[in-house]
Amino acid sequence: MDIKMITFQEHGDDRGQLIALETQKEIPFDIKRVYYMYETGLNVRRGYHAHKSLKQVLICIHGSCKIHLDDGKENTEVILDKPNVGLYVDNLLWREIYDFSRGAVLMVLASEYYDEKDYIRDYRKFIEYTKMEKK
């Protein structure tokens, strides 16, 4: 499965590091929403959905977590453990997020406002969607 990881430029000096993310530059879409998960329980697995059209970039800005991605044919696991690396998650990709380290903060940049109608929360429906897309 093709996975797109984006490495961000670090503006580091003797004070520390700084990363800047801009629409259509580091992030390949217009950023309409940012959300983040923190204080996630150690055995929590969340996500369990795909999006009809939403695109996202996931960045674990502190600690680590794992992302299971499934395009309906293949699946893979990605470890996010660097604040300067983002995972691009296209639409129609089933994702599950797990193995959050203690204190992990997962930040998500999203191409659209929150819209429950864009979610596919049923795995069998997701498979049907991926087949429809390919016709």
Q: Which residues are catalytic?
A: 49
- For residue 77, the minimal CB distance to ligand TYD (Å) is 17
Shortest approach of ligand TYD to residue 10 CB, angstroms?
27
Nearer to ligand TYD (CB atom), residue 65 or residue 130: 65
* 82 lies in the binding site for ligand TYD (CB under 6 A): no
Stretch that binds ligand TYD, among 4-12, 13-21, 43-51, 62-70 (CB under 6 A): 43-51
Tokens matching residue 4: 């797109």
Please pick, from the candidates 6, 8, 21, 33, the single residue that binds ligand TYD as defined by CB under 6 A.
Answer: 33
* Residue with token string 């961000």: 8
CB-hemisphere CA count at 13 Å for 1? 19
Alpha helices by DSSP H, listed for the chain, are 123-134
Q: Which of residues 47-66 bind ligand TYD (CB under 6 A)?
A: 47, 49
For the stretch 19-28, what's the b/e string if a residue is b when 16 or more beta carbons lie within 10 angstroms of its beta carbon? eebeeeebbe
Question: Which region among 9-17, 42-50, 51-59, 68-76 touches ligand TYD (by CB under 6 A)?
Answer: 42-50
Torsion of CA 81, 86, 92, 94, to 10 degrees: 10
| Side chain identity at residue 44, one-letter code | V
- Applying CB under 6 A, which of residues 46, 62, 66, 68 lies at the interface with ligand TYD? 46
Q: How many residues are recorded in the chain? A: 135
Residues that bind ligand TYD (CB under 6 A): 33, 35, 46-47, 49, 114
